[in-house]
Every structure is written in C-alpha cells, then in structure tokens.
Amino acid sequence: MDKFLVRGGKPLHGKIEIGGAKNSALPCLAATLLTSETVILHNVPYVKDLITQRRLLEDLGATALTPELRTHKVTARHIERFEAPYELVKTMRASVLALGPLLARFGQAKVSLPGGCAIGTRPIDLHLKAFEELGATVSLEAGNVVARAPEGGLVGAEVDFEKVTVTGTENVMMAASLARGKTIVRNAACEPEIEDLADLLNKMGARIRGAGTPTIEIAGVEHLGSAEHTIIPDRIETGTFIVAAAITGGEIEIKNCRPDHLSAVIEKLREAGVVIEELNPSTLHVKVASDGLAAADVTTEPHPLFPTDMQAQYMALMTQARGTSVIKETIFENRFMHASELIRMGAKIDISGNTATVHGRTRLSGAPVLASDLRASASLVLAGLAADGETMIDRVYHIDRGYESIVPKLRSVGADIQRITEAAA
C-alpha cells in the first residue's frame, strides 16, 4: 500500500488548477445508462472512483471509451446485465447510482446493498422508498436490492424525502426522467452536483426544473438521447487547497474553480482569518491575515451551508487557530476519525458525540498516521504540511479515490511531499 511522506513547515506559493468534481462525474456517468446513444463527458477527474464507475458501466455492457484522459465517451446501447455486483459496490457506494437509470430504462435493476463505510452506516432506504413511490417493487434478496418497474414502466409521483440525500435525489431525478407523467421531488438536495446532473439530463432531452432548489419538477419523456457535457469544478478540492495555503501561512492562486459553489466555506474561512479574494469568477487568491488564524465554530449542514466533506480539513486548520472552536457534524454519525490521528500529532481535541472541541493553537509534530476515509486523509496531509518534522501517512488509497494528482499539485506550490510506493510484497 502506498504512503505519503510529508515534511512540514513550508509555506505554499504559486498556482493550482482545480479538476472536475468527483461527486458530479459519478452520477453523470451513471446517467449515460439512460440512453442507447453516445454521451460525451469532459473534465472527468482521473481518480479511482471514476475508474471503478466506468468499469461498472462496461460490466453492464456499455462501451466506455476515454479518447483523452479526462474525456469519457459512453454508449450504453447493448446493455445485457442489470446488476451492479457486490465486489464493485463494496469498493464504491456510488455504484447505487446505477439503480435509477437501469430501473427507468430497462424496468429492472439489481444492486448489492452497499455496506456501511468508515464514516457511517449510510443506508439507501430513502432511495428505495422513492423508487416505490414511482411504482417500482423493491425487495432484498441475498444482500442485493432487486427493483422492478410495473408493466408500462415507472409512473411519475410526489416524492417527499424525510432527509436530504444527495445521491437519493440524483437517483430519483434519473429514474423520473423516463417515467410516465410528472414527478415532484420535495426536500431535494441542493448541491451544485445536483444542478450539474440536471444540466446533463436536460441536454439529453429530459425536462427537469428546479434542480439546485429543495423542489425539483421532472416531466417524464419517452426516451433520452446523446449529449456532450463538461463536469463542474470540484468545490471540495478547491476548499482543500484553500486550507492548504492557510495552514502553511502561504499564498496561492486557485484556478478553474467555482467560488460560488463553496460560498459557505469561503465565508467561514474568512471569519477564521483567511484572506480570500475572487480575482474573477473562476480564480481565487488565498493568504492568511497578518494577525494569523482565529478559532471559529462550524456546523455541517446540507448545501448551501457548510459541507460535511470539508469538516475534516477545517478541523486540521482549527488546530492552528488561536482560541477554541466547536465543530458539529450533523450529516454522518462517525466522521471524526481524523481527530485521533491529529491528536497523535499534538492537537488538543475533545470529542463528545457529534461535537469536536478544538483547543488551538497547538504546534503539530510529524508522526506516522493512518488515513481512514477520503476527507480524513486530506486532513492528515494538511496537518503534515503544517507540522514540524516528518509525517508518514499510510493507506493513501483512500485519498486516491477522490483527489487527482494531489502530490504533484502540492509539490508544484512548494510542499515537501512524496508518494512512497511499497514494493509489492
């Protein structure tokens, strides 16, 4: 397993370019199953999760070409299987996004029930309940979700999510696009990735209105066709690099980003003393205020409020801020695993239920640490950049799932970080 070796203490300086959003590319790739025509997606990040998603499409019978590293050309004309197997789903929960399109286009879908993961049990009960509202029958057979549409296909309905669910909203939007009649989704997730998926679906001929707001209207159509679409920039990668500049006391320019997609993050970081200037709608300039970082409390909430995917990175930053900050995690039940690793590096953090209290500022010392999930890994890299001495981060396969070229990108702005590839045993 690869490791990262980070030698801290170097302020970052220079320019970094942001890649495509992993959490938009995943549903957009799944949406290619909704048509027999070719769909071309640009700016797809070259990360493990997207390689897995492409392999799933090929497993189902689609042709998935990459004429360029970050361009995917998918033709789901000859779909022979309607099942996302366990060995794929267990490595990537986002495979459940195949459910909606398979059910809508072929009337059937079988997806291994995803297990929980490090950050929580992460059920998909709300996805399944929504499919039943659209007329599907859903059963659990030997660990697989088996869904069948009624004769004549899915029927538009009113879907009222009792909890905001990002992939649940995406799954229903895709399924309803080919249902007979109109679907209204209430308490829908409002993330920019939802809007990006709706943009793609509408380019394919869907009739979706309200994506990005809590109420989405989908008028079902007979069939969807070809489209070409560019994935939006990754707002979490953007937030991660803003923190990288701030935690090292550096000064960087972040290009190809969408500041309007992470307003709550920018606002909170400014409150904490990070000077963030929008040079233009796709470029940020970041440095730390002269009097340094100040503790600021935060609670994670669905978009447009502070995203849970930035909580771990923010916690690392708060260890370097003057004062005590209270971080509340309201989305996932077990998303503080990075805290124990930060404590090993010298941070002073008290955890009580879904609340972490960070006592800053503490000097961090490099140490061997263990990554547990994608964003926790990023948090440990950030802490290593600020720490005295060497930090060896193990199990970095987690970070490879969602950050393209994070080592070369950080090295390009002066970080002393290298990937150690363990010789195959």
Is 166 among the residues that bind ligand EPZ (CB under 6 A)?
A: yes
Is 26 among the residues that bind ligand EPZ (CB under 6 A)?
A: yes
Q: How far is the CB of 20 from ligand EPZ (least distance, A)?
A: 13
Per-residue binding letters, 384-403, with ligand EPZ (x by CB under 6 A)? ------------------x-
Tell me the catalytic residues: 117
Number of residues engaging ligand EPZ in binding (CB under 6 A): 23
Question: Which range of residues in 74-82, 102-110, 207-215, 303-311 is near ligand EPZ by CB under 6 A?
Answer: 303-311
Is 145 among the residues that bind ligand EPZ (CB under 6 A)?
A: no
Among 57, 126, 231, 262, binds ligand EPZ (CB under 6 A): 126
Per-residue binding letters, 4-23, with ligand EPZ (x by CB under 6 A)? -------------------x
| Closest CB to ligand EPZ among residues 189, 367 | 189
| Closest CB to ligand EPZ among residues 121, 418 | 121
Question: Which range of residues in 82-90, 117-125, 265-273, 283-291 is near ligand EPZ by CB under 6 A?
Answer: 117-125
Q: How far is the CB of 132 from ligand EPZ (least distance, A)?
A: 12
By CB neighbour count within 10 A (0-12 exposed, 13-18 middle, 19+ buried), where does 158 fall?
exposed
Is 404 among the residues that bind ligand EPZ (CB under 6 A)?
A: no
| Closest CB to ligand EPZ among residues 122, 322 | 122
**Contact present, 327 and 362 (Cβ < 8 Å):** no
Residue 215 pairs with which residues in a beta bridge? 186
Question: Which range of residues in 70-78, 122-130, 225-233, 260-268 is near ligand EPZ by CB under 6 A?
Answer: 122-130
Query: How far, in whole angstroms, is CA 193 from its chain's centroid?
Result: 9
Is 316 among the residues that bind ligand EPZ (CB under 6 A)?
A: no
Distance CA 362, CA 345 (A): 10
Site residues (CB under 6 A) for ligand EPZ, limited to 321-350: 331-332
> To the nearest 10°, the Cα dihedral for 362, 118, 257, 276?
-20
Is 163 among the residues that bind ligand EPZ (CB under 6 A)?
A: yes
Is 120 among the residues that bind ligand EPZ (CB under 6 A)?
A: yes
Is 165 among the residues that bind ligand EPZ (CB under 6 A)?
A: yes
Is 241 among the residues that bind ligand EPZ (CB under 6 A)?
A: no
Among 133, 195, 234, 309, binds ligand EPZ (CB under 6 A): 309
Is 308 among the residues that bind ligand EPZ (CB under 6 A)?
A: yes
Q: How far is the CB of 192 from ligand EPZ (least distance, A)?
A: 11
Q: How far is the CB of 331 from ligand EPZ (least distance, A)?
A: 5
| Closest CB to ligand EPZ among residues 229, 287 | 229
| Closest CB to ligand EPZ among residues 167, 320 | 167
Residue 308: CB partners within 8 Å, gap ≥ 6? 300, 329, 330, 331, 332, 335
Among 167, 240, 320, 325, binds ligand EPZ (CB under 6 A): 167
Binding region for ligand EPZ (CB under 6 A): 23, 26, 94, 120, 122-127, 163, 165-168, 307-309, 331-332, 374-375, 402
